[in-house]
Structure 1
Amino acid sequence: MVTHWIVPTAVRSSTVSVRSATPTIVVSKTTAMTPTIRIRPVRRTFGSIVASSWAVMADQAIRRRRRGPELERALLDAAWDELVAAGYAALTMEAVAARAKTGVAVLYRRWANKDELVRAAIEHQGRTRPVGAPDTGNLRGDLLALIESANAGRAGFAAVVGAALNGLMADTGLTPAQLRVQLLGDRPLWSDEVYRRAHQRGELDLDRVPPDVLALPFDLVRHDLLMTMEPLPPERITAIVDDIFLPLVRGTG
């Protein structure tokens, strides 16, 4: 059998076209003993080849250059995005690895299973997106501003975390309170600076007000966010501060 390979090329003005050969075996009706191979050209433009090559090179560069903290941030961001998109039950280590453009072994070297990864992703989101402590000059104004800021920026966060809680508790055996301690870690609370300044101004006696009272406004906000999965209305925030918290503080001050 004689094989003829013909690869045509074409150059037209400033556009270069490349044709790749696709062999086709043709058997003659008169003699089945002498098959011939013809070439079916498939046209690919030079631009498409370059674009495909750059895409491969960019993906390889992403895999090569990320190391240490940068890689871990990328993995945790990918885990959070997958948690938002798929939910805890449907999240898989393979899906997170694909979203992060890395291998699944990279995840398992850092987190033993899905619940460890999800807890780390939630903790990472809370740590890297803090709510600043306002300074309006008085305790009431600071609390209203702080709760309004947290309410606007954390409603979506609370909804995602709340939806993941059942799965996390089932997989880890931890209670909501234990999960909260793990997710918060030892970082300071947003309200610490607000209460410290109020104490210095004489509006609040931190030696006499119980910690449960200081935590109450934020416990109520968290409760409402988890129960409704929606931001609190302004009147609810005002009621928490004016009708519940401040009377308690004044009664113990």
Structure 2
Amino acid sequence: MLQVTVWNENRHEKTDAEVQEVYPHGIHGAIASFLEDQFQVRTATLDEPEHGLTQEVLEHTDVLIWWGHLAHHEVSDEIVARVKQRVLDGMGLIVLHSGHFSKLFKTLMGTSCDLKWREANEKERIWIVDPSHPIVEDIGEYIELEKEEMYGEHFDIPAPDQLIMVSWFEGGEVFRSGCTYQRGKGKIFYFRPGHETYPTYYHKDIQRVIKNAVQWAKPTALPKPIYGNAQPLEAIKTKQ
């Protein structure tokens, strides 16, 4: 069974009554609860020792899910480097919503990952622009969310390896909301929706996308590439 770690900074839930009402067990708890019927799931949060991401935890994680917002700056550079290396070695990574501005995502993308935003309780329609992709299996033409935070272009990310979803917002903006990347042996999926004051992670289609993404991002059973000076596989004839 695939081993999934759901990481959440877990700060809004401690200080904001509105967020506590929507996610009484934390955003990490809500996500873990709909994954548990299909995967072996653990959670980790910012204030745990080593942010809950010890070397042992990461070595037993096939796919890491990341949600952060208020406290990106509090995540240790040492832990970021540790997680990045695990991604390069083949661990899958799913970055949700405001995780776009995390140290981890920015270092893997190599850009600022900045964007426009607005909180106005507006409708979001997430259009599926690559219906052949396994991440959107069992999803229709679009996902509609009654209320969400707006993210707008320009989104300062590298061109995605695959662009799967594009959002339209009631105020007129559009946004690249479902993007995949490969870094080293690892697969990365960025998925936009999930503002902390909205019940987005209870939406069945959002849950389905995240479940599909875990399956897509799982490590491949390939040997680790060998780098450096290499001996020839065939005899090399000396040329006169």
Under a length normalisation based on structure 1, what TM-score does the superposition of the two structures give?
0.23
Identify, as 1 or 2, the structure richer in strand: 2
Larger Rg: 1
Under a length normalisation based on structure 2, what TM-score does the superposition of the two structures give?
0.24
Q: Which has the higher contact order (CA 8 A, sep 6+)?
A: 2
